[in-house]
């Protein structure tokens, strides 16, 4: 199995290209973006040395389906998805924040809570909570959008407003959209026997209108639990069976890597790579209710993408 870890296209009208941790984003005439979901994988803000076959296709196709399924809630940037690994959309000026919404106490929020933290991003947390416990209502814990090589940093609503990262009216709308999108994602997940635990959204402006950008409800941006067995596992204090990238982080932490200076990424064996690929495909099939159709990667995958994109732009 081959993995696509690098692209270097030169499309007509191309003004620039941004190589992110996972996506390569091509600016076409300052009007459209061509976003290629590669098979790169990152954790702790570090790009891991091996790509994961089919991961880009999984991410792009889940995001594409959810953009379509939430278009009635707020405008989004998608125009078309001409290739299994590509979305073409309108260019927006992004807000320098990510809207993270949490329905349950887990992951980094639980690690902070366990260490004694009782306020995250200006949101006060109740005493006596346990790992994977559901919040009374979902909470929004924004982060700054990191520059390359930097870690996202927690930020409160008050700080966002005082720094002028959004106006009060804009932030109110971002909160409204975030909670509505999370509720839609929660409802769709429930129909598939899943719990949408937490996720992040990115927004920008196009012609003065706020748009949802980037990916949505993918395993890179979201965490899912299996609904079946959640209550029993929670009652016993057992780990939840989950579909997310958290299992990759846990594997790295178990092998002494958390992205800190001097730490080395553990060897990524073929077995590890295949197991990560299988988990991504498993989430696709659970969250969409459809069988995943592998777009077999071959030496001409770049040629296929270029041909499909040229038709779309």
Q: What tens digit of pLDDT does each residue of 39-80 get?
A: 999 998 899 999 999 999 999 999 999 999 999 999 999 999
Q: How many domains does the chain have?
A: 2
Model pLDDT, residue 2: 87
pLDDT at 94 over 80: yes
| Cα separation, 236 vs 301, whole angstroms | 47
Across the chain, what does the average pLDDT equal? 94
pLDDT at 149 over 60: no
Same domain, 287 and 299: yes
Model pLDDT, residue 60: 97
Model pLDDT, residue 45: 85
CATH classification of the domain holding 74: 3.30.200.20
Position 283 confidence tier, pLDDT thresholds 50, 70, 90: confident
pLDDT at 297 over 60: no
Asked if the structure places residue 73 within a domain, the reply is yes
pLDDT at 109 over 80: yes
pTM of the shown model: 0.89
DSSP 8-state class, residue 77: S
pLDDT in tens, 190-232: 999 999 999 999 999 999 999 999 999 998 899 999 999 999 9
Same domain, 125 and 162: yes
Position 93 confidence tier, pLDDT thresholds 50, 70, 90: very high
Cα–Cα–Cα angle for 210, 211, 214, rounded to 5 degrees = 140
Model pLDDT, residue 299: 59
Asked if the structure places residue 237 within a domain, the reply is yes
CATH classification of the domain holding 231: 3.30.470.20
Mention every residue, 6+ apart, whose C-beta is less than 8 A from residue 269.
none
What ranges make up the beta strands (E) of 42-173? 42-43, 46-47, 78-83, 86-90, 93-94, 97-104, 119-120, 123-124, 134-140, 143-144
Same domain, 98 and 130: yes
Position 298 confidence tier, pLDDT thresholds 50, 70, 90: low
Asked if the structure places residue 59 within a domain, the reply is yes
Model pLDDT, residue 295: 82
DSSP state string for 211-240: EEES--S-TTTEEEEESTTHHHHHHHTPPP
pLDDT at 148 over 70: no
Same domain, 213 and 125: yes
* Domain extent for 240: 94-244
Position 271 confidence tier, pLDDT thresholds 50, 70, 90: very high
């Amino acid at each position: 199995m081959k993995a696509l870890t690098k692209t270097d296209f030169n499309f007509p009208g191309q003004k620039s290209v941004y190589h992110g941790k996972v996506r390569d984003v091509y600016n076409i005439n300052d009007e459209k973006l061509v976003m290629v979901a590669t098979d790169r994988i990152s954790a702790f803000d570090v790009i891991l040395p091996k790509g994961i076959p089919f991961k880009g296709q999984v991410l792009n196709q889940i995001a594409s389906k959810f953009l379509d399924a939430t278009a009635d809630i707020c405008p989004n940037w998608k125009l078309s998805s001409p290739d299994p690994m590509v979305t073409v959309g309108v260019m927006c000026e992004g807000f320098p924040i990510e809207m993270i919404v949490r329905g349950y106490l887990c992951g980094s929020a639980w690690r902070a809570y366990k260490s004694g933290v009782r306020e995250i991003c200006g949101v006060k947390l109740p005493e006596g909570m346990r790992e994977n416990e559901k919040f009374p209502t979902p909470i929004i814990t924004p982060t700054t959008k990191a520059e390359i090589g930097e870690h996202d940093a927690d930020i409160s609503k008050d700080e966002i407003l005082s720094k002028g990262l959004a106006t009060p009216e804009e932030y109110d709308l971002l909160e409204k959209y975030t909670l509505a999108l999370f509720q839609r994602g929660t409802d769709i997940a429930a129909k598939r026997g899943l719990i949408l635990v937490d996720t992040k959204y990115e927004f920008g402006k196009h012609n003065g209108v706020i748009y949802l950008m980037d990916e949505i409800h993918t395993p890179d941006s979201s965490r899912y639990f299996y609904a079946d067995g959640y209550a029993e596992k929670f009652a016993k204090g057992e780990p939840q069976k989950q579909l997310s990238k958290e299992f990759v982080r846990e594997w790295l932490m178990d092998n002494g890597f958390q992205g800190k200076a001097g730490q080395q990424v553990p060897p990524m064996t073929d077995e590890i790579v295949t197991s990560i690929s299988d988990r991504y495909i498993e989430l696709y099939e659970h969250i969409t209710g459809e069988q995943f159709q592998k777009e077999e990667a071959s030496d001409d995958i770049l040629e296929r993408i270029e041909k499909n994109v040229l038709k779309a732009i």
